[in-house]
Amino acid sequence: MFDSLREFIARADELGECRVIKGADWNMEISRITELSGSRPNQPMLVFDEIKGYPPGYRVATNFLNTYKLFALAHDLPIAAQGVQLIRAWREKMKGGFEPVPPKQVATGPVAKNVYTGKDIDLWKFPTPKWHELDGGRYIGTGDMVILKDPDEGWVNLGTYRVMVHDKTTANIHISAGRHGDAIRNKYWNRGKSCPAAVVCGGEPALWGVSTSSAAPVGASEYDYTGWLRGRPVEVIRGKTVDLPIPATAEIILEGEMGPPGVDDRPEGPFGENQGYYTGGSRPESVFRVSCVMHRDDPILLGAPPLVMDYDLDWGWYLGRIVGLWNELDRQVPNVQGVWIYSEARTAFTVVSIRQAYDGHAAETAMAVAGTYAGTYRSRFTIIVDEDIDPSSISQVLWALGTRCDPSQHIDVIRGFRAIFSDAIVSPEQRRVGDYTTSKAIIYACRPYHWRKQFPVSVKSSSEALAETQRKWGKILFKE
């Protein structure tokens, strides 16, 4: 794994997985080029340089984890692995159980090369894009990590929360209710105090991936978890104006404090939400007052805006959620053969493949999915399929849905699940009374257990037979 974002970019470039775009405008052009790139499969990471109005070297990187190959590169996994095969490789890498590897504090690092405080702070010095046409402002934080420390327990949390710039020294950090960052800042606010925070606007991809997932156990720092994944600690320095550990090799750091609500609120949003709509609107958010800015020479701003693209891995963050869900299911039910969450459906579509062992096995698995954070957060549909179905293959999943599911018997709807504020399906009436709940559909697209042996035999070749055919004829069949 890599120690910095620019190391990752350099290696991706060596593999032909990086493309430099020069002369784009920060005002929608970077975003639209990124969106257009996603209209075709397996497109490289984009690095924008010589951005209109900014000096050469001040760059923005997008689509950095938007192919299986880039994701595998970032996490030291087999480059050729795809779909469930990639998840299996990742789970294999994680065997043995989590053992915290705390960060290592160092005296200084590349991010401290340029330090600005007081009147020298200027958030506009970075080529912060406007990502969506109707956004309420420019968002410096999309591929970011917000660092917070629990005032009671002392554990450090890194979470990806969007950051909108207001002026040279102030911004908003939007954190949805129920997230770890929200729980931490509320502890400060309930005591009438401001919450210290540091925003990383360009970090190494493995740490960023952990910050977006539910992989790290509650109370364990994403630093500790990433150190375990890497097999070596993440190097950190102390903040200049906040008592927080900062990644030493980060590109850009914003230090400051989030004041309690009602003291100095400013409108945040609207913003193009992850589901692909302007749902949350604009609302007052407490101000994040920046007390220090640090950055490397020729800094790289990491962009991961929600975009609706035909070929979209959603920056790969949901892959970590798949691993966490699969690990949790293994603790509750037997014979799980594969798990997949579809980024195209904005994670609302979860498929689990099982080898049925007893009557009710499919229902038990579905309930186990519904009882996990990864299986409920933003999830709308849970589909259970047999072991001959690759859950990461939408064509196979649709085949199972079309041939093994009788809607009158094999679909259950459960109500009362927690929704998020930006959920497009939450009605205006619900919003007015503060009811942020939705339903979940459980679909059984597997052979009915009690007469599975009488179910018609499939004409589909076995995976072993297809693998043998690939070995014998693949080079001739798939000439490049």
Task: For 414-444, give the DSSP string.
Answer: EEEEE--TT-TTS-HHHHHHT--EEEEEEEE
265 burial (CB, 10 Å; 0-12 / 13-18 / 19+) is: middle
308 found inside a domain: no
Q: Is residue 480 part of a domain?
A: no
Residue 309 in domain? no
pTM: 0.86
**Total of domains in the chain:** 2
Amino acid at 194: S
Whether 387 and 275 share a structural domain: no
For residue 190, the one-letter residue type is N
Pair (289, 361) in one structural domain: no
- Computed on alpha carbons and rounded to an integer, the radius of gyration of the chain in Å comes to 23
User: Which of 259, 280, 302 is where one domain is finished?
Assistant: 302
Q: Which residue segment(s) compose the domain that 453 sits in? A: 333-475
The answer to whether residue 322 sits within a structural domain is: no
Residues 88 and 197 placed together within one structural domain of the fold: yes
- In a shared domain, residues 297 and 394: no
pLDDT value, residue 424 = 81
In this structure, is residue 353 part of a structural domain? yes
Nearest CA to 127 out of 249, 204, 28, 208 is that of 28
- Counting residues of the chain whose pLDDT is more than 70, the rounded percentage is 98
If asked whether residues 251 and 357 sit together in one domain, one would say no
Kindly state whether residue 316 falls inside one of the protein's structural domains.
no
* Residues lower than pLDDT 50 in the chain: none
Q: Look up the CATH number of the domain holding residue 357.
A: 3.40.1670.10
Chain-centre distance for alpha carbon 69:
16
Domain co-membership, 359 together with 427: yes
Return the pLDDT at 13.
Answer: 96
Both 129 and 209 in a single domain?
Answer: yes
Among the candidates 280, 302, 324, a domain finishes at 302
Respond yes or no on whether the N-terminal peptide bond of residue 270 is cis (omega within 30° of 0).
Answer: yes
Per-residue confidence (pLDDT) for residue 419, from 0 to 100: 78
| Domain edge (last residue) among 248, 281, 302 | 302
Distance CA 344, CA 478 (A): 27
Query: What is the structure's pLDDT at 314?
Result: 67
Is 314 a domain residue? no
| Same domain (yes/no): 121, 185 | yes
69 and 131 both lie in a single domain: yes
Q: Are 1 and 75 in contact (CB under 8 A)?
A: yes
Within a domain: 317: no
| pLDDT confidence of residue 252 | 98
Q: Are residues 86 and 156 in the same domain?
A: yes
Do 284 and 345 belong to one domain? no
Question: Per-residue pLDDT tens for 373-429?
Answer: 777 777 889 999 999 999 999 999 999 999 999 999 999 999 988 777 777 888 889
What gap in Å lies between CA 281 and CA 431, rounded to an integer? 12
Q: Looking at residue 188, which CATH number applies to its domain?
A: 2.30.110.10
Q: Does one domain contain both 389 and 450? A: yes
CB contact at 8 A, 175 and 161: yes
